[in-house]
Amino acid sequence: MPSVTKLAGRISKSPTIAMNDKAKQLAAEGHAVIGLAGGEPDFDTPAHIIEAGVRAIHDGQTRYAAPSKGITPLLEAIADKMERDNGARVNPMTDVIVTPGGKLALFLALKAMLDPGDEVLIPAPYWVSYPSVTTMVGGVPVTVPTSSDDNYRLRLDHLREFVTPRTKAIIINSPSNPTGHVLSSEEIEAVATLATEADLYIISDEIYEKLNFDGRPVVSLASLPDIADRVVVINGLSKTYAMTGWRLGWLAGPTSVMGAAGMFNSQTATSAATFTQIAAVAALTGPQDCVEVMRKSYEERRNLMVSSFNSIDNMSCPDIEGAFYAFPKVDETSKTSEEVANTILDKAVVVGVPGSAFGISDDAHVRFSFAADINLLREAVERIRGIADQLA
Ligand X SMILES: Cc1ncc(COP(=O)(O)O)c(C=O)c1O
Q: Which is nearer to ligand X, 269 or 312 (CB)?
A: 269
Phi, psi (5° rounding) for residue 240? -65, -40
User: Any contact of residue 266 with ligand X (CB under 6 A)?
Assistant: no
Q: What share of the chain is helix, strand, coil (3-state, %, to 5)?
A: 45, 15, 40
Q: Is 132 in the site for ligand X (CB under 6 A)?
A: no
How many H-runs (helices) and E-runs (strands) does the chain carry? 13, 14
Nearer to ligand X, 123 or 349 (CB): 123
Closest approach of Cβ 240 to ligand X, in Å? 10
- Spatial contact of 76 and 98, defined as CB atoms under 8 Å apart: no
DSSP 344: I
CB of 195 to ligand X, least distance (A): 19
Nearest to 354, CA basis, from 40, 18, 10: 18
Cβ-based neighbours of 20, under 8 Å, separated by 6 or more: 35, 37, 38, 351
Q: Of 127, 250, 309, 324, which one interacts with ligand X (CB under 6 A)?
A: 127
Per-position x/- string for 344-383, each x denoting binding to ligand X as judged by CB under 6 A, each - no binding? ----------------------------------------
Q: Which is nearer to ligand X, 326 or 388 (CB)?
A: 326
Helix locations, the chain, DSSP H: 6-9, 15-28, 47-58, 72-86, 102-113, 129-136, 156-160, 185-198, 255-266, 274-285, 289-310, 337-343, 374-386
- The SS3 call for residue 74 is helix
Binding to ligand X in span 211-250, by CB under 6 A: 236, 238, 244, 249
Instruction: State the residue number with the nearest CB to ligand X.
Output: 102
Query: Is there binding between residue 210 and ligand X (CB under 6 A)?
Result: no
**Cα–Cα distance for residue pair 16/356, rounded to 1 Å:** 11
Map residues 156-175 to x or -, x wherever contact with ligand X holds by CB under 6 A: -----------------x--
Whats the size of the chain, residue-wise?
392
Report how many residues bind ligand X under the rule CB under 6 A.
Answer: 13
Rule CB under 6 A: is residue 204 a binding residue for ligand X?
no
Candidate segments 46-54, 96-104, 194-202, 260-268, binder of ligand X by CB under 6 A: 96-104
- Give me the least distance between CB of 146 and ligand X, in Å please: 16
Interface residue list for ligand X (CB under 6 A): 39, 101-103, 127, 173, 177, 205, 207, 236, 238, 244, 249
